[in-house]
Amino acid sequence: MLNEALQSFTYLVAEIYQYDRFDDVPNGEPASQPHEELPGQFGMGLPGINGYVWHKWVTGALTQLPGQHTLFLRLPPNFRFGPDEPALRSGLVIVTLHVVAHVARIPGTAKHFTLKNASTSQIEKVRVEASFESPKRPLELEAINSEEELNCYHDSLRGRHVFAGIIRVPRIVAGQIFWPPSLEALERIRRLRSQGEEVTFAKVEGRDLSKAWEVFTSSHREHKKAEQGAPDAQKDPHG
């Protein structure tokens, strides 16, 4: 018996949407919100904050549910946002993250086989064989921005044989680039600035999600997570 089948790939992208900086916040506040210490080894300024958020993302310490999430970070003593900025005694940063699920779908067909016991007519084995055509062009991705939208998407798949995969994209979006930055992205930024052009995410990283797998500069061991296969998909994860 032939049935409809579907390959569904979900690429999870985290974007730092906003930083809220507070320079003089007593320890333990705000008491109503759980917060954590920013380890000093990640360095100073926004690069240090970006590096820590990326570390939590690739190690699975951040939620992968689509939607908006906040992270309260207590800054280490003498933290500086820049070389000309004063050292902070007791700073706090609230990082607002947007997680978006980009879904790719490949339709196919499934054959359903059952093996029955000849004497009892009871079903003893069930087997499903599915076949899918190779995409002839880059996959179009559908953006899912909330947990409610994700639940609606899963409901729409009922009644079909679904072969699903979930992939946490190995870099986060921070401003105009994927973080950690690749050498290629840094060179594109340098070239844009030298030409007097505006630096935007689209100009630096483009609309191809596989750019998130481009070799980047960090030496952290989590870098190895980027070795998983990159998608052949066209979508600007920045909007």
- CA distances, 76 to each of 1, 26, 50, 53, 90 (Å): 63, 13, 15, 15, 7
Give CA torsion, residues 212, 216, 220, 225, to 10 deg.
30
pLDDT digits 0-9 by tens, 58-74: 999 999 999 999 999 99
Instruction: Say whether pLDDT at 222 is over 60.
Output: no
Distance CA 162, CA 203 (A): 36
Instruction: Say whether pLDDT at 134 is over 80.
Output: no
Residue among 71, 84, 92 nearest 29 (CA): 92
Task: pLDDT band for 219, please (50, 70, 90 cuts).
Answer: very low
Distance CA 27, CA 19 (A): 19
171-200: average pLDDT:
93
| CA 143 from centroid of its chain's CA atoms | 12
* More confidently predicted of 59 and 108: 59
